[in-house]
A and B are shown apart, each in its own frame.
Chain A
């Protein structure tokens, strides 16, 4: 049960701190996001810059880039996802610990970007895995990645622990396994995951 905001402010003035389990839980979750350490293309350089002293991702509690998906709960798709690379990305996403989040960084990760018409580039990673935050840009500046982090933190903060919209790890019904595509004759098979992405209808 949420505490009334005005009542909370009034109590705060009197020196009484009121919170809920949900707020505490989400505060802990959003303040210690551990990203997975991998870069796909040029966006990765901006991602590296974001973690360094000038932009200092550590301010958001997300500086611990883990080299193993077992210890990570956020994936930054930093760059072009080729069709050769897509199965590996999806498999790594599967192997990450719950609850997991994805930031699609840059035009390529969102849609294929300048290589959209290419035969070998995936036209957006959200065809296979659920993306929480998209950042446009080619590449996005570190400030944009920080903005994405803050957006993700707000999203985590707003997640109720019960009922509709609760995080995936608390939902027994939620999909846990995301099928890894395989290289077919002409394209990846399946071309998209129907559970997370609906094929757009072309209206002529």
Chain B
């Protein structure tokens, strides 16, 4: 067995396992021997800043919320692009103003689509 080429690997594996498990076992033993345990139902309860925990942590969000995210994005991006446009407005040519108008109209179209779909009414 000792002649097997994997023997040294096996020895190393056992040593590595012991290196990991020994501190855990010692900590457990130390805790059992010396820790002043006084458990009760309130103490073992889930810690929630002093409040009783209610319900489950596995909450589901409606996937329909993506619509709000998209509408937010429409106005957000619009504001980001409109600000430099407004700053440089007096020095812009007709072509730049036309491009900006198309951009704003595209966003307005998105808003109109959301409006037509009834997203803006809070249900």
Cβ–Cβ contact B42 & A68, under 8 A: no
Answer yes or no: B54 CB below 8 A from chain A CBs.
no
Answer yes or no: A89 CB below 8 A from chain B CBs.
yes
A195–B40 alpha-carbon span in the complex (Å): 17
Q: How many A-B residue pairs have CB under 8 A?
A: 41
A16–B63 alpha-carbon span in the complex (Å): 75
Residues of B within 8 A of A88 (CB): 49-51
Distance in angstroms from A25 CB to nearest chain B CB is 11
| Interface residues as binary, B69-111 with A (CB distance below 8 Å gives 1, 0 otherwise) | 0000000000000000000000000000000000000000000
Who on chain A is nearest to B38 by CB? A176
Who on chain A is nearest to B42 by CB? A94
Distance in angstroms from B38 CB to nearest chain A CB is 4
Cβ–Cβ contact B49 & A94, under 8 A: no
- Residue of B38, B40, B47, B49 with most partner-chain A CB within 10 A: B38
Residues of B within 8 A of A70 (CB): 47
Q: What class of interface size applies to chain B in its complex with A?
A: 10 to 19
Q: What class of interface size applies to chain A in its complex with B?
A: 20 to 34
Cβ–Cβ contact A169 & B36, under 8 A: yes
Residues of A within 8 A of B49 (CB): 88
Residues of A within 8 A of B56 (CB): none
Residues of B within 8 A of A157 (CB): none
Cβ–Cβ contact A95 & B42, under 8 A: yes
Cβ–Cβ contact A99 & B40, under 8 A: no
Cβ–Cβ contact B36 & A94, under 8 A: no
Cβ–Cβ contact B50 & A89, under 8 A: yes
Answer yes or no: A69 CB below 8 A from chain B CBs.
yes
A113–B39 alpha-carbon span in the complex (Å): 34
Q: Which B residues, 51 to 74, have Cβ-Cβ distances below 8 Å to chain A?
A: 51-52
Answer yes or no: B117 CB below 8 A from chain A CBs.
no
Cβ–Cβ contact A176 & B51, under 8 A: no
* In-complex Cβ contact of A168 among B38, B39, B40, B52 (8 A): B38
- 15 additional A-B pairs beyond A91-B51, A168-B38, beta carbons within 8 Å, are A68-B47, A87-B50, A88-B51, A91-B42, A92-B50, A94-B42, A95-B45, A98-B37, A98-B38, A169-B38, A170-B36, A176-B39, A177-B42, A177-B43, A180-B42
A residues sitting closer than 8 Å to B (CB atoms) are 68-70, 87-89, 91-92, 94-95, 97-99, 168-170, 174, 176-178, 180
Query: Please, could you name 7 A-B residue pairs with CB atoms under 8 Å apart, sorted by A?
Result: A88-B50, A91-B50, A91-B51, A97-B36, A98-B37, A176-B43, A177-B42
